[in-house]
Structure 1
Amino acid sequence: MNLIESKTTSFPLSNSPITVGIIGGGIAGSTIALRLAEQGINVQLFEEGKSLVNGPPICHLHAGGNLYREISDQQCVTLLKQSIDTLRVYQHTSNIRPTVIAIPCNDAGDPNDLLPRLTLLQQTYQALVENDPKNKVLGEPNDYFKLYQRNDMERLALQDNPRHPLTPDQWMIPVAKSINLDQFKYPLVMVQEYGLSVFRIAATLTLALQKLTACHVHTNTKVTSLAEQNTGWKISYQDLTGDQHQLNVDYLVNAGGYRTGTIDDLAHIPRQRMVEFKAAYITHWAQCDAQWPEVIFHGERGTPNGMAQLTPYPDGFFQLHGMTQDITLFKNGLVSSNANSAQPQLDASFKAKLQQHWTQPEIEQRTQRAINHMAQFVEKFEQATVGGKPLFGAQQIPGSDPTLRAADVSYSHQRYARSEIVKASSALSVADAILDQLAVLDLISKPIPQTREDEFPVAQQLSLNDIVSYAEQLAAERGFPTSLARPIGH
């Protein structure tokens, strides 16, 4: 049975007086559509691709932003709160394994510089849990992070790898056994930042929106022009067969992802932003005999010693980032908008990659570079092989600060909102802000305060089994190993 075609339960359309148009069916646009449709608001969701949430590589929840030394403490606190909300709403999308942060000796950073931030985040998490016990989705607050000195790592290196790690020490064992302890500054840090499955998020959103008759999803659909009217917007669009259509909406949301500027141009609304093309690489380590945590080896972005990120999946698959121009970053891959257009223009070679046109030699070359980069720290990882095509995409960054990570929504006109998330966990904040804006404009009545779970009754009813089953189908359709759709730690 094809789940995408089976509607077992329909939820009635409410008598919503307005219609909201959302352009872009990525993580932001689909989350906004779900948030509004769960409230009974009529939604028209437009996505140029054939399925929802098919954008840049998502793998890490960023519950505190500990990957990023360069961002502010306030951005970290924001990401922590947004991640907690994400786990409460998308309850079957996390890979529950911790993240290890290690600073190589050749890096200028000092591990002790991380401690004030980690303490702030732990205290923030503790306060959030005390305020609402349902916020306890990242383990016990007291366990939010743990420090490991050299002697701790030496002790753990003598132990056998556990089959099902539960404690921080058990998760750390394969790291202690596999890295050269002389290469790192101490302490190492283990923090409860979990993984996020892009395929299970896509499955959750698709299956939930399919049940909500308040939302009409237009896939394989290109918006061709926008015209502002006194009471909203006229959307002109073209379907898969080339037929032209028009639709009037009372409020318009631009959730175009890296193409947000294209929609701004159609709406004749200027905006400054950047776009960055990135890729992560799928590898298979057949000889791996342990469940690994995620491991972040800090490094200076854009240099040959850029950060290396090892993200585990079931069955020996690992996703790799290497923040060098030979691996995850690309020369001329970061571009800015200009006075003539709100859409930064990527080079033609990147546009070809975004249309799935990677050459096999390039896939093998860049994946092998990622493996070699990781093998500097985990020597046995040199055994890994190419595990599939890269996860890739272009990331929008509003404004002119390339280090910005916590961003959500901006407004240019009364009935026009622009989603500008950089991280997936920010999508719910955008949805909340748009719902509030609709109330401020008196387009809807003010929403009644609810728990996060009660705001998403349809999504909350989806079972892990159905989500995983459909996520595996999506992974296969997109040409990725189905292991990437399966959970860790559940």
Structure 2
Amino acid sequence: MNANQTQINSLSAQSNPTPIVGIIGGGVAGATTALHLSEQGYNVVLVEKNDSLVSGPPICHLHAGGNLYREISDEQCIELLKDSIESVKLYPHTINRRPTVIATPNHDQHDPQSLFPRLLQVQQHYKQLIDLDPSNKVLGEPDDYFKVFTKQQLLALKEQQQPAHPTTIEQWLIPFAQQVDLDTLRYPVVTVQEYGWSVFRLSAQAELSLSLESKCQLQLSSKVTNIEFNPHQAKPWAVSIHSQGQTQQLQVDYLINACGFRSGSLDNLANIKRTRLVEFKAAYVANWDDNQLLWPEVIFHGQRGTPQGMAQLTPYGKHVYQLHGMTEDITLFKNGLVISDNDSQPKLPTPLLNKIDIGWSEEVVAQRTQSAISHIAQYIPSFNSASLGGKPLYGAQQIPGDDVSLRATSVWFGEQNYACIETVKASSCLPAAIKIAQQLKLTGLEPSHRSSAAEESSNKALTESDIEQYAVRLARRRGYPEALALYYGQ
């Protein structure tokens, strides 16, 4: 009997009245929910098929206000702002604090000034949240949430020298002013306090926090093969788990589906019919050794799916950049957006599933990375000297329902003590976990009480150095540059 099986058998056999919650899937949704529920006093078993947590689709951006998505509603933008604030408070050591530039190219049909009403609304809501609770001021001063710059102001910044440690928005904008072809843009240009998010530090903080959490049992390298519901059992959900060549049984009071784009597969086992979209996406890693300046993140807006789709340059340390281009030659893929048909699991084409499960050919990596470099270089000509920096960050995300523009969503509750986390953006995962905790209590499943000492022993006990060191190890283990795990910004 292996260690995982011993732990599960011990937990299932407990006469402790505290309910046992099973969470299937250790991405950011499952890990965040496990952390929140265990801190609330629930016994949690988190089952993840990979050997570490949070290893799914690329996460690089906090989305604190949804400014990358002109097509979504103002309500979704405000929801993403609130979600992002809570996420920063839970994962403070995972954020790269630098501004994001929103630029509108000449070829784009939208007037950049059309962004202002939404920006003002989000800024005002940020101020209100700070008035309600000063701890919500995690995105800088509300008056700095966004700023606008004319071409003349950028030309003036072009003549300045960036300090080694930029502290003002203007100092962060100097590389943009010096190296972007300013004649390709419409004005004004906008900066927003939408910070970066390191997926490797997020993975590290989640895994280290849960390893310190006495009420959470973490089952890595473990695959769920079957689930059954029996209302006549004290703990009605039976979960079959295959690990280290053996199959074990876990009995839980409540089951949470946190399987990401494969959520439909677990829904099928539970005989639940849900409509959802699944989309495969990728981001690319480039080295830009010719550049010695500290860049903000830069978004060049464009119509999704066209050759002029949005271009995104995300900076990290050591001259490493993550690249998105919303075209079918770069981030998007032909037939990469699918919807569920006769069951709950949308069927991605086999070549895209193979990219997730097996990997990419070197030829395709080189081709798509070069396409991404060229896409950025149409606005930043000197970026043409960038080169391949490593394998892509890739994966698929689910979108509940059939609205491809949906971004702010959290969790769906079924009958029979079952919930499915249906977040699109990582910042929505903590709100989903909070709603699940509330639903558990409504269902009559009350946790035991936590002591303040126990709460202090997990997430709050970790230091920036602890998280960064482990994040670097995770990046190396997954075959990515360690720069993606290092702190960047203020």
TM-score, scaled relative to structure 2:
0.94
Taking the aligned partners of 1:273 and 1:237, their CA distance within structure 2 comes to: 26
Whether the aligned pair in 2 keeps the contact of 1:148 and 1:188 (CA below 8 Å) is yes
Mapping for residues 136-155 of structure 1, pairs under 5 Å: 136-155=137-156
Mapping for residues 18-417 of structure 1, pairs under 5 Å: 18-230=19-231, 231-241=235-245, 243-338=246-341, 340-417=342-419
Write the deviation string for residues 53-79 of structure 1: whole angstroms up to 9, x where unpaired.
100000000000100000000000000
Whether the aligned pair in 2 keeps the contact of 1:261 and 1:343 (CA below 8 Å) is yes
Q: 1:244 is paired with a residue of what secondary structure?
A: strand
Whether the aligned pair in 2 keeps the contact of 1:23 and 1:256 (CA below 8 Å) is yes
* CA separation of 1:137 and 1:14: change in aligned 2, threshold 3 A: farther
Whether the aligned pair in 1 keeps the contact of 2:53 and 2:203 (CA below 8 Å) is yes
Following superposition, the deviation at residue 446 of structure 1 comes to: 10
Q: 1:471 is paired with a residue of what secondary structure?
A: helix
Write the deviation string for residues 170-225 of structure 1: whole angstroms up to 9, x where unpaired.
11111011111111111100000000010001000111111112111111111111
The answer to whether structure 1 residue 425 and structure 2 residue 427 are counterparts is yes
| Runs of 4+ displaced beyond 3 Å | 13-16, 445-448, 454-457
* CA separation of 1:360 and 1:21: change in aligned 2, threshold 3 A: same
Whether the aligned pair in 2 keeps the contact of 1:475 and 1:481 (CA below 8 Å) is yes
Taking the aligned partners of 1:220 and 1:213, their CA distance within structure 2 comes to: 20
**Alignment: residue pair count:** 473
**For residue 419 of structure 2, what is the amino acid of its counterpart?**
A
Taking the aligned partners of 2:409 and 2:367, their CA distance within structure 1 comes to: 34
Matched with 1:6 is none
Write the deviation string for residues 375-416 of structure 1: whole angstroms up to 9, x where unpaired.
000000000000000000001110000111101000121400
* CA separation of 1:486 and 1:202: change in aligned 2, threshold 3 A: same
Following superposition, the deviation at residue 94 of structure 1 comes to: 0.1
Taking the aligned partners of 1:57 and 1:23, their CA distance within structure 2 comes to: 20
* CA separation of 1:139 and 1:234: change in aligned 2, threshold 3 A: same
Whether the aligned pair in 2 keeps the contact of 1:16 and 1:42 (CA below 8 Å) is no
| Of 193-202 and 218-227, the range deviating more from structure 2 | 218-227
Q: Which runs of 5+ in 1 are unaligned?
A: 1-12
Taking the aligned partners of 1:447 and 1:274, their CA distance within structure 2 comes to: 39
Write the deviation string for residues 52-107 of structure 1: whole angstroms up to 9, x where unpaired.
11000000000001000000000000000010011111010000000000000100
Taking the aligned partners of 2:248 and 2:108, their CA distance within structure 1 comes to: 56
Taking the aligned partners of 2:31 and 2:282, their CA distance within structure 1 comes to: 22
The answer to whether structure 1 residue 486 and structure 2 residue 486 are counterparts is yes
| Of 277-286 and 37-46, the range deviating more from structure 2 | 37-46
Whether the aligned pair in 1 keeps the contact of 2:276 and 2:344 (CA below 8 Å) is yes
Write the deviation string for residues 1-42 of structure 1: whole angstroms up to 9, x where unpaired.
xxxxxxxxxxxx995521000000000001000111112211
Following superposition, the deviation at residue 132 of structure 1 comes to: 0.9
Equivalent of 1:442 in 436, 441, 444: 444
- Cα RMSD, aligned residues only: 1.8
Taking the aligned partners of 2:489 and 2:15, their CA distance within structure 1 comes to: 39
Matched with 2:4 is none
Following superposition, the deviation at residue 162 of structure 1 comes to: 2.4
Following superposition, the deviation at residue 456 of structure 1 comes to: 7.3
Matched with 2:461 is 461
Whether the aligned pair in 1 keeps the contact of 2:41 and 2:449 (CA below 8 Å) is no
Following superposition, the deviation at residue 457 of structure 1 comes to: 5.9
Taking the aligned partners of 2:152 and 2:422, their CA distance within structure 1 comes to: 45
**For residue 353 of structure 2, what is the amino acid of its counterpart?**
K
Following superposition, the deviation at residue 447 of structure 1 comes to: 8.7
* CA separation of 1:375 and 1:442: change in aligned 2, threshold 3 A: same
Following superposition, the deviation at residue 445 of structure 1 comes to: 5.7
Q: 2:92 is paired with a residue of what secondary structure?
A: coil
Following superposition, the deviation at residue 130 of structure 1 comes to: 1.2
**For residue 224 of structure 1, what is the amino acid of its counterpart?**
T
Whether the aligned pair in 2 keeps the contact of 1:67 and 1:296 (CA below 8 Å) is yes
Taking the aligned partners of 2:426 and 2:460, their CA distance within structure 1 comes to: 19
Whether the aligned pair in 1 keeps the contact of 2:23 and 2:257 (CA below 8 Å) is yes
Whether the aligned pair in 1 keeps the contact of 2:18 and 2:448 (CA below 8 Å) is no
**For residue 239 of structure 1, what is the amino acid of its counterpart?**
S
Following superposition, the deviation at residue 264 of structure 1 comes to: 0.2
Q: 2:444 is paired with a residue of what secondary structure?
A: coil
**For residue 489 of structure 1, what is the amino acid of its counterpart?**
G
| Of 94-103 and 223-232, the range deviating more from structure 2 | 223-232
**For residue 275 of structure 1, what is the amino acid of its counterpart?**
V
Taking the aligned partners of 1:33 and 1:456, their CA distance within structure 2 comes to: 16
Whether the aligned pair in 1 keeps the contact of 2:60 and 2:198 (CA below 8 Å) is yes
Q: 1:468 is paired with a residue of what secondary structure?
A: helix
| Of 224-233 and 266-275, the range deviating more from structure 2 | 224-233
Taking the aligned partners of 1:344 and 1:455, their CA distance within structure 2 comes to: 40
TM-score, scaled relative to structure 1:
0.94
Whether the aligned pair in 2 keeps the contact of 1:14 and 1:40 (CA below 8 Å) is no
**For residue 335 of structure 1, what is the amino acid of its counterpart?**
V
Q: 1:117 is paired with a residue of what secondary structure?
A: helix
